[in-house]
């Protein structure tokens, strides 16, 4: 049976995925454009070697970029620098600096306009690798997914293993699908699969320290699996959805939304069995179908109890908690002769110790 859109969207609508999307800028903080603090190389010994090779004129030209009074002046000075010193070892630092200065602008459209301008000034592929992740993030913050995914595709064509951008893309694609905009689903599934492949293969990006890499392995990997599971569920690929969601649970058994999605799938299976039961002729086959329906409902109750327990007392999950508690109460009472005695004990069983 294909998942019914209304039930799927009900489950998706009460999720807290938007809270994850709000963390998008942290995902991009390890992208190429963020690898260097302004004017500081990660490896100090290499930085010192670079500085010793820089002429006085080049140093002065670089200083003009930083001392310029406003962003347009900084961009102008930076443009003059790269024209005069196109092969400078400081080029990446300077491009990063002006891009970050643009990122600080509080007005979203102005931030985008300045970043787009910077992208036309600095035209080397390495320059684009610095600027594009920042511009992608700016597009997403201004709710311009078409521009964001266009740029994501361009950027990933050159940087196919950028886990930060891949993860950002799959989560944003799911957020758009949640808003009933499915145009990025296929792209997002592709990007998510690539991110999973890289993380599971242990391909730690050069820019990541051990702590950040551990975060991707322990936090973001189960989220990516969960997101891919949700996308598969919304597009009707039930088998793939269940496999992805089960994997997410195996990696992180403490996320209530994963149990909501699995419970939604089990509930649809229950409804299908119940429908067939109603039309079946009286006899042993019908009796067996009733037992099967009850067993399936017990599975639904179990997953909903997980979701309620894990979302209890967590403000970002309040809506989810209240909705799932209502559904759990209804199902539990049905299976226990109208009583909810024992339901709280079941919920408590799944609360974190």
DSSP string, 160-201: TT-HHHHHHHHHHHHHHHHTT-GGGHHHHHHHHHHHHHHHHT
Angle at 85 between CA 82 and CA 88, to 5 degrees: 95
Q: Is 87 helix (H, G, I), strand (E, B) or coil?
A: coil
Q: What is the pLDDT of residue 55?
A: 85
Q: What is the pLDDT of residue 54?
A: 75
Q: What is the pLDDT of residue 42?
A: 39
What are the backbone angles phi and psi of residue 66, rounded to the nearest 5°?
-70, -35
Q: What is the pLDDT of residue 52?
A: 52
Label residue 38 left, alpha or beta by phi (over 0 means left) and psi (-120 to 50 means alpha): beta
Q: What is the pLDDT of residue 289?
A: 94
For every one of its 353 residues, what pLDDT tens digit does the chain have, with 9 covering 90 and above? 333 445 555 665 555 443 443 344 445 544 443 333 333 333 344 444 455 567 888 999 999 999 999 999 999 999 999 999 999 999 999 999 999 999 999 999 999 999 999 999 999 999 999 999 999 999 999 999 999 999 999 999 999 999 999 999 999 999 999 888 999 999 999 999 999 999 999 999 998 999 999 999 999 999 999 999 999 998 899 999 999 999 999 999 999 999 999 999 999 999 999 999 999 999 999 999 999 999 999 999 999 999 999 999 999 899 899 999 999 999 999 999 999 999 999 999 999 98
Q: What is the pLDDT of residue 34?
A: 39
Q: What is the pLDDT of residue 45?
A: 42
Q: What share of the chain is helix, strand, coil (3-state, %, to 5)?
A: 75, 0, 25
Instruction: Output b/e per residue, 180-195; b: 16+ Cβ within 10 A.
Output: eeeebbebbbebbebb
The whole model's pTM is what? 0.85
Alpha carbons within 13 A on the beta-carbon side of 271: 11
CB 264 within 8 A of CB 306: no
Nearest of 75, 62, 168 to residue 116 by alpha carbon: 75
With tokens 């109890």, the residue in question is: 305
Rounded Cα distance between 84 and 330, Å, is: 73
């Amino acid at each position: 049976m294909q998942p019914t859109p209304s039930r799927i969207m009900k489950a998706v609508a009460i999720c807290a995925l938007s809270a994850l999307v709000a963390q998008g800028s942290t995902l991009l903080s390890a992208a190429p454009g963020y690898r260097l603090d302004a004017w500081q190389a990660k490896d100090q010994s290499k930085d010192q070697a670079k500085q010793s090779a820089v002429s006085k004129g080049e140093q002065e030209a670089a200083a003009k970029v930083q001392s310029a009074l406003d962003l347009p002046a900084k961009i102008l000075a930076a443009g003059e620098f790269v024209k005069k010193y196109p092969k400078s070892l400081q080029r990446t630092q300077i491009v990063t600096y002006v891009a970050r200065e643009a990122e600080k602008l509080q007005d979203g459209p102005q931030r985008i306009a300045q970043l787009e301008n910077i992208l036309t000034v600095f035209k080397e592929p390495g320059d684009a690798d610095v600027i594009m992740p920042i511009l992608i993030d700016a597009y997403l913050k201004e709710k311009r997914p078409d521009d964001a995914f266009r740029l994501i595709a361009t950027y990933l064509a050159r940087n196919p293993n950028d886990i930060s951008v891949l993860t950002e893309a799959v989560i944003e694609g799911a957020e758009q699908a949640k808003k009933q905009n499915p145009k990025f689903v296929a792209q997002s599934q592709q990007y998510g699969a690539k991110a999973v492949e890289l993380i599971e293969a242990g391909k730690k990006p050069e820019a990541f320290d051990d702590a950040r890499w551990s975060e991707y392995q322990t936090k973001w990997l189960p989220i990516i699996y969960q997101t891919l599971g949700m996308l598969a569920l919304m597009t009707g690929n039930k088998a793939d959805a269940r496999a992805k969601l089960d994997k997410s649970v195996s990696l992180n058994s403490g996320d209530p939304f994963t149990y909501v999605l699995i419970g939604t799938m089990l509930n649809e299976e229950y409804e299908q069995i119940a429908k067939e039961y109603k039309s079946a002729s009286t006899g042993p086959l019908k009796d067996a179908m009733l037992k099967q329906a009850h067993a399936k409902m017990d599975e639904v109750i179990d997953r909903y109890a997980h979701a309620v327990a894990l979302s209890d007392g967590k403000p970002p999950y309040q809506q989810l908690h209240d909705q799932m508690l209502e559904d759990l109460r209804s199902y539990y009472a049905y299976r226990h002769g109208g009583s909810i005695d024992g339901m709280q004990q079941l919920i408590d069983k799944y609360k974190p110790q």
